[in-house]
Structure 1
Amino acid sequence: MAVAEEVANKPDAEAQIGGLIFAVLLIDGESRINEANHAAENLLGQSSKRLNGKPITEILGDLEERVKQRFAAADSALVARDIRVIAGEAETRVNLTVSPLASHTGWRVVTLSEISHEENAREAEAGSALGAPSILAHEIKNPLSAIRGAGQLVARKLPQQDKKLARMITNEVDRIARLIDRMQQLGSTQSEPAAPCNPHEAIRAAIATVRAGDTTQVEIREEFDPSLPPVMANRDALEQVLINLVSNARDAAAASKDVPRITVQTRFVSGLAFSAIRVGRSVRLPIEITITDNGGGIEPAIRDHVFEPFVSSKKSGQGLGLALVRKLVRDMNGSISHERDVKRDVTHFRLHLPQSVEKARAGI
């Protein structure tokens, strides 16, 4: 009897499709959207009611010619990897499939899976590759300490006009040591303990830190959802992530031709989930923090590699800041992605984090 009840209460097809973490669209023989699941609404930035009846090629923007041709052929299947589409008003990269329904001529099911979230999963597996450099970094720091000590001793015996050379030695040693510290953080397999955390308090603390050392006077706007629940995160790690992201946004906005501006926004997105390799399961990530700047954007040549170590668009950049951000976010079972909104000419960095089991509100 219990088995029969379970079968009777099992989720129907609509519930199963609604629960998928990737976007699913149903299109007819003229490539018009007839249905969209919750993940599709989130990805495309429109409700199912607004999407219904619109040609999918119009919704996804300027698609590659081969993709357009497949959509025009009502019986064609398609698997397209790493294509650029306009999701909402922003450009993003997705893997796309089109599957004809044999039982209904002309009807097809389209799936869209954001590559940014898939890459986070693959990068989590590859993260262990940084372990060897971390061990090497530890061995390098020992002779660096000796060099620094020797430089300080020499400085005491040098005439005043030559002391600056000794100071240069110690300053460069300190700079290398800081670089090594960041490499070790990247290679660490340990993560700090997570606890319920008020995201707005962490954001405001990070903004205060950035403003304390800021000479650009870039405007930072706050657009917070006051009903947002606490996140499950490490407070110190979250602040470090936010400091890095807001600092980068400030530097980008400061070079803008328009009035430099940063917006930090929080909202609840119920449909997003991420396959967290570290814990071996899918994790819901309903808390979204978006840092937006109106700078010139990331150079196209490195746009798809900004979270990789030693990749930087800054002349003096070491390329470790965003790699460390990705590592810290991953340790909190979260997801980090970026996109260029070509219509509004702004760049978004989106941070998605798990919700705390506590029911208390985060407040603002």
Structure 2
Amino acid sequence: MFNSLGIAVLVLRPDLTILRANPAAEQLIGLSARRMEGRGLGAIVRFESERLAGLLAQGDAQIAAHGVATSFHDSALRQIDFVLSPVTGFPGWQLLSMHDTGSSDSLRDTEDLPLRAPAILAHEIKNPLSAIRGAAQLISRKLPDKDKPMAKLIAEEVDRIAKLVDRMQRLGREKPEPVAPCNLHQVLHRARELVEAAGLENVRLTEEFDPSLPPVLANQDSLVQVLINLICNARDACKDGEHPEVTLGTRFVSGFVLNVMRLGRPIRLPIEIRVSDNGPGVPRDLRDHIFEPFVTSKKNGQGLGLALVNKLVRDMNGRITHERDEVHGWTHFRIHLPMVK
């Protein structure tokens, strides 16, 4: 029964050495069971998350995780779903089951992130907000001048929550905006102008454009919003550095094809937009989750900006990825879009 399981399973001793590996694990990891058995798990399977490695060492943790950046033996990073379970009656013994969800350095066609919950929550929150704001305004008329700032504070906080709710509703919108041919560099210059008008805070903004790029197939307003969000994030990430810099780049990626099928044909995404900054980067334990709702490294962030960016890009049949270059100290967000045929 163990050998016939279709999912990769490793049996781990209390010292995290591998006792057994089924054929599915052999296929996933790329090593025979004989070569794995008796060796430490860390020599065969390496999780990028230090926290997960610590939980493994506890020996009694029940863990289920999705899309964990993992490398096997000497292979490149891949996205792995895994479940870790203690073996009942055998203290310290564990079962590790794994499933490959795709490569972390390619553009994967996974199901859209679970955004329906924010949309439903937004709908339920928004209804009473106008009543609260109206009540605050009525109360303000009857209050003495010294107490009016409190009523104003209530109205301002309601407005802030309403803006947050609007963003949550956009996350849950199922019908994408229509796409049309767009001049990519006009869109980039528009986004840059809007960010500069708001203030770059002494951050140097440079461009590395390929002027020969053809038009992209996108929604212009959505793409401007995506770029404003990414440029502002990059500015905020590096502004406290010694020489803060944000770079906008475009290029043609010849032969790039999304490895899924839509409407019976491959999706070609040859147009790349890159937004880079020389800030400290996203904390390592958040890097695999930054496009999920309510995940943020900002002290006062809401965790909806990049989730909305991801949705808008996917609505245009594009993909966005995040990459950290630790050697040179740069963070790169890359958007890949289809071009007009």
**Runs of at least 4 residues of structure 1 off by over 3 A?**
64-68, 84-87, 92-96, 116-119, 275-281
Partners of 1:253 and 1:280 lie apart in 2 by 43
AA of the residue aligned to 1:148: R
Aligned to 2:321: 337
Higher helix proportion (structure 1 or 2) = 1
In 1, Cα distance between the equivalents of 2:275 and 2:322? 9
- Are 1:233 and 2:218 counterparts? yes
The one-letter amino acid of 2:103's match is E
Which of 174, 180, 188 is residue 195 of structure 1 equivalent to? 180
- The residue that corresponds to 1:268 in the other structure is 252
Partner of 1:303: 287
Select which of 192, 206, 209 maps to 1:224. Answer: 209
Could you say if the C-alpha distance between residues 180 and 276 of structure 1 is closer, same or farther in structure 2, counting changes exceeding 3 Å?
Answer: farther
Match of 1:177 among 152, 159, 162: 162
Unaligned runs of 5+ residues in structure 2 are 1-41, 47-68, 81-101
Deviation at 1:123, TM superposition (A): 3.8
Matches of residues 93-132 of structure 1 in structure 2 within 5 Å?
Answer: 93-94=77-78, 114-115=103-104, 117=106, 119=108, 121-124=109-112, 127=113, 129-132=114-117
Amino acid at match of 2:216: V
Instruction: Supply the AA of the counterpart residue of 1:320.
Output: L
Which of 1 and 2 has higher RCO (CA within 8 Å, sep 6+)? 1
Number of residue pairs matched by the alignment: 258
Q: Distance in 2 between the 1:323 and 1:265 partners?
A: 22
- 2:307 corresponds in structure 1 to 323
Summarize the Cα distance change of 1:85–1:282 in structure 2 as closer, same or farther, 3 Å threshold: farther
SS across alignment from 1:83: strand
- Tell me the equivalent position of 2:152: 167
SS of the residue 2:266 aligns to: strand
In 2, are the aligned partners of 1:85 and 1:93 still within 8 Å (CA)?
no
- In the other structure, the counterpart of 2:270 is 286
Secondary structure in 2 matching 1:156 = helix
Alignment partners' CA distance in 1, 2:122 and 2:157 = 16
Matched, 1:145 2:130: yes
* Rounded Cα–Cα distance in structure 2 between residues aligned with 1:263 and 1:212: 17
Counterpart Cα distance in 1 of 2:220 and 2:339: 14
In the superposition, relative to structure 1, how do residues 202 and 237 fare at CA in structure 2: closer, same or farther (>3 Å)?
same
Query: How many angstroms apart in 2 are the aligned matches of 1:287 and 1:235?
Result: 15
TM-score normalized by structure 1?
0.66
1:60-92, CA deviations, whole angstroms, 9 ceiling, x for partnerless residues? xxxx85489xxxxxxxxxxxx8329999xxxx8
| Overall identity of the aligned pairs, in % | 55
Quick one: distance in 2 between partners of 1:241 and 1:162? 41
Instruction: Quote the residue 1:43 is aligned against.
Output: none
Letter in 1 for 2:132: I
Equivalent residue, structure 2, for 1:7: none
